[in-house]
Amino acid sequence: MKTSDKIYVAGHRGMVGSAIVRKLQKEGFTNILVRTSKELDLANQAAVEAFFEAEKPDYVFLAAAKVGGINANNIYRADFIYQNLMIEANVIHQAYKHNVKKLLFLGSSCIYPKMAPQPLKEEYLLTGTLEPTNEPYAIAKIAGIKLCESYRDQYGCNFISAMPTNLYGPNDNYDLNNSHVLPALLRKFHEAKENGKPSVEIWGSGSPFREFLHVDDLAEGCFYLMQNYDGKELVNVGSGEEITIKDLALLIKDIVGYEGELTWNTSKPDGTPRKLMDVSKLASVGWKFKIGLREGITGVYEEVRNKEFAI
């Protein structure tokens, strides 16, 4: 990519898309193309076609998606599969029709089977049944990977797929009804500290293992892949390090400075017992994460706790 190339970042207001925009700006790119969901409904085929016809981007980062945690994925199952299928099908097809030089599709680690061997290797895709709570979302993301592979096979398109692990960072979602575990814990501990609550309830048993990556690291990884990787196969993007939900809660409790107790609501689902990425393929391409978990969470908390509505 040249700094003057027209680069479309789909989903630029989201956590991932905004991090990619920050990275591109930092690298001196001056022709970044963005649209809000009100300006361009990516689920509308005609609207997406008109946009590509008018703008003709050179490169595309497809970070737009309908996302949420266990609760949202389980309740809004139709919304999650429909919206994500439409977004990726429309953008990928128009990228092909309008001769985009390269497209990077962002998936999710939930594409892998629930009981897949750990750590998760790229070749484990479609080798077993998915986690039931987010199956519709996962199937949509798998379809996106297969779209990229199929357009490459049939038309020679340079479309690549990256699978991020669990993310956190600027522009995260702190709504307790549909946020992911790390921002939800940050908000719970912050509010408990502010309100002098004696305890904080946490969903599940605390035993599942999770891997986390700062979204600025993901943006670095995506930028690196766009410049250096042209393979058909999807690539995991993660830290390769894991932590139990219990230890994550204790870490956030310490960072926030909350001194109360933890209670575990085991009537709530744990989700997948373990979800660690094998990042050896990404390492072989030449990239590794930089931001440690304590450093990253501390930075996020310093940023959001002073914003009026952020947390």
Tens-digit pLDDT profile for residues 237-280: 999 999 999 999 999 999 999 999 999 999 988 877 888 999 99
167 is in an annotated binding site: yes
For residue 277, give the DSSP letter. Answer: B
- Residues marked active site are found at 137
Cα–Cα separations (whole angstroms), residue 115 to 2, 53, 161, 311:
42, 43, 22, 34
Q: What is the pLDDT of residue 309?
A: 43
Res 311 pLDDT > 70? no
Q: What is the pLDDT of residue 8?
A: 98
Averaged confidence pLDDT in the chain: 93
- Domain spans of the chain, in order of start: 7-171+212-241+276-291
Render the burial of 216-254: b for 16+ CB within 10 Å, e for the rest.
Answer: bbbbbbbbbbbeebeeeebbbbbbbebbebbebbebbbe
Contact 22, 7 (CB under 8 A): no
Out of 13-27, 156-170, 265-279, which region has the weakest mean confidence (pLDDT)? Answer: 265-279
Res 308 pLDDT > 50? no
9 is in an annotated binding site: no
- Quick: pLDDT tens for 202-231: 989 999 999 999 999 999 999 999 999 999
DSSP secondary structure letters along 197-254: -SEEEEES-S--EE-EEEHHHHHHHHHHHHHH---SS-EEES-S--EEHHHHHHHHHH
Q: What is the pLDDT of residue 310?
A: 52
Quick check: helix, strand or coil at residue 292? coil
User: Which percentage of the chain shows pLDDT scores above 70?
Assistant: 98
CATH 1.10.40.50 fits 7-171+212-241+276-291, yes or no: no
164 is in an annotated binding site: yes
Per the listing, tokens 């027209």 go with 6
Q: Is residue 180 very low, low, confident or very high in pLDDT (cuts 50, 70, 90)?
A: confident
